[in-house]
A and B are shown apart, each in its own frame.
Chain A
């Protein structure tokens, strides 16, 4: 079945460092891909999404490009802030499973001042 794999955390960075969180997927068909963020004590919020190959999603300085050839959707940010500390989830919509979202296991990011 369809699945999403993320790099394991926790990831600890200093403020202004470059961030990459890897995400790869397995899917039949052409899923849409998403990054959600969960701040401490809160629910998930959509960070960005891409609906077709080579699309780039971007929001709040974060970017991710839908790479069909490598089945990847890595999240990047050029300069992280303490306020970016959160858990990040990669997800895909699975039309083979009725259009439901399939989530990766999440990657915890901690940014130190």
Chain B
């Protein structure tokens, strides 16, 4: 089992460019999440998907969109990147919603927006 995988590991964008961060899990989990990690801020939830076919906004959704492509995959899209979106992005999954079961995290994607 690979657990939660993310691609790419590192990306540099120019302001205004778009990109999609990919996430996949092989644990047959129902719920998936996207977080961003910034120094001194902990992790903040961007979007989550409680189950296949549903998505909801988290704490900091502005500037992002998500797609729950199927039960395994949950992608995060930046339509027009801004320097404020420079961060480390983590995808996570859990069998059920947060608190009811453990969240498993991917290794992260480091994004630099110039």
A residues engaging B (CB < 8 A)? 4, 31-32, 41-46, 49, 89, 93-95, 98-101, 103-106
Selected contact of B103 from candidates A31, A46, A98, A105, CB within 8 Å: A46
Q: Is the CB of B100 within 8 A of A99?
A: yes
Selected contact of A44 from candidates B43, B48, B59, CB within 8 Å: B43
Selected contact of B107 from candidates A4, A42, A99, CB within 8 Å: A42
Looking at the assembled complex, report how far the CB atom of A59 sits from the nearest CB atom of chain B, in whole angstroms. Answer: 12
Interface residues of B in 20-37 (CB under 8 A from A): 33
B residues engaging A (CB < 8 A)? 4, 33, 40-45, 48, 56, 58-59, 90, 92, 97-100, 102-108
CA distance A89 to B106 in the complex (A): 16
Q: Is the CB of A89 within 8 A of B99?
A: no
For residue B107, which residues in chain A have a CB less than 8 angstroms away from its CB?
41-43
- 16 contacts across the A-B interface (CB closer than 8 A): A31-B99, A42-B108, A43-B90, A43-B92, A43-B105, A43-B106, A44-B90, A45-B105, A93-B98, A93-B100, A94-B98, A99-B100, A101-B98, A103-B42, A105-B41, A106-B42
Q: Is the CB of A89 within 8 A of B43?
A: yes
Selected contact of B99 from candidates A45, A95, A104, CB within 8 Å: A95
Q: Is the CB of A89 within 8 A of B105?
A: no
For residue A105, which residues in chain B have a CB less than 8 angstroms away from its CB?
40-42
